[in-house]
């Protein structure tokens, strides 16, 4: 059990984890599985602390509600694997909320946040301490770094995007997420500095002029497509297999991906 799994069990009696496993079922989508949701919760909890350090206040009930939103925001991908899966997630999240005694206002906030978290045009104005903003940015944080690279490759291949077109699609999506984060949380420079480094890692990987050789980048995409999507190998197992690869870029990528997956401390 990972540290995030322990945190979920300690803070909410395992109900959220059990609910997720039941509803997500046998869906094979590593980029958006339970581990992704637990990381998003870790990021969101860290953001709450950063905001508290900057004068914002949050009730315990709000933090509980945020935890529910984090654990259910992508659960609808079990039924709708498109970019517009928020509505499907909202429907499933509403089932869990029937077992809680949260206020009607917070329940509405959870459902609104889950429904709109996938709106990466960010047209809904939302203050930095709102549930929607915290959830959206925490979700975006998992698109950065080496974790973000592997997740982008997996979900875009799953959605039928050709390998040759993945880089351009990622660059556009990634830059939009990063600009929004800077706009909302620019008043927390240490946070922005950390996330900028992680954003640049993902951005540079998909940049044809970036530090990764083209052949290495293509091989990494091929490895993830074959080993993760076709052979259903665990991402840790894949990383271990290639940690001593002869190709320096491939070895560098999988070693750093493994470190990120193990540490998961990016807030």
The tokens describing 58, both together, are 């949050």
Is 99 in a helix, a strand, or coil? coil
- Within 8 A by CB and 6+ apart from 66, the residues are 44, 45, 48, 131, 134, 135
Phi, psi of 233 (to 5 degrees): -80, 150
Single out the residue of 118, 117, 122, 96 nearest to residue 107, CA to CA: 96
Say what the pLDDT of residue 11 is.
54
Tell me, what's the pLDDT at 5? 47
Quote the distance between the C-alpha of residue 17 and its chain's center: 16
Asked whether 216 and 249 are in contact (CB, 8 A), the reply is yes
Q: How far apart are CA 114 and CA 85, in angstroms?
A: 9
How far is CA 98 from its chain centroid?
26
Domain boundaries along the sequence of the chain:
1-129, 143-267
- Please list the ranges in the chain whose pLDDT falls under 70: 1-13, 264-267
pLDDT digits (tens, 9 = 90+) for 142-185: 999 999 999 999 999 998 998 888 988 899 899 999 999 999 99
In sequence order, the 6+-apart residues with CB closer than 8 A to the CB of 83 are 118, 120, 159
Helices and strands (H and E) in the chain: how many: 13, 0
């Amino acid at each position: 059990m990972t540290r995030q799994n322990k945190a979920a069990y300690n803070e909410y009696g395992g109900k959220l984890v059990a609910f997720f496993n039941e509803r997500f079922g046998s869906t094979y989508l590593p980029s958006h599985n339970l581990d992704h949701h637990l990381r998003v919760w870790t990021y969101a909890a860290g953001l709450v602390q950063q905001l508290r350090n900057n004068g914002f206040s949050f009730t315990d009930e709000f933090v509980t509600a945020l935890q529910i939103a984090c654990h259910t925001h992508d659960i609808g991908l079990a039924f709708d694997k498109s970019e517009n899966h928020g509505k499907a997630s909202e429907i499933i999240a509403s089932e869990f909320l029937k077992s809680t005694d949260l206020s009607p206002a917070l329940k509405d906030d959870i459902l609104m946040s889950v429904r709109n978290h996938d709106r990466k045009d960010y047209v809904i104005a939302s203050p930095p301490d709102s549930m929607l903003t915290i959830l959206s940015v925490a979700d975006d944080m998992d698109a950065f770094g080496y974790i973000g690279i592997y997740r982008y490759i997996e979900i875009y291949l799953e959605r039928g995007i050709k390998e040759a077109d993945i880089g351009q699609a990622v660059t556009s999506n990634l830059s939009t997420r990063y600009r929004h984060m800077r706009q909302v949380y620019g008043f927390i420079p240490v946070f922005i500095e950390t996330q900028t480094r992680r954003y640049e890692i993902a951005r540079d990987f998909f940049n044809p002029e970036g530090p990764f050789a083209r052949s290495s980048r293509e091989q990494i995409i091929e490895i993830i497509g074959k080993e993760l999507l076709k052979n259903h190998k665990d991402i840790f197992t894949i990383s271990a297999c290639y940690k001593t690869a002869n190709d320096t870029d491939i070895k560098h990528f999988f070693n750093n991906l493994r470190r990120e997956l193990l540490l998961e401390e990016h807030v």
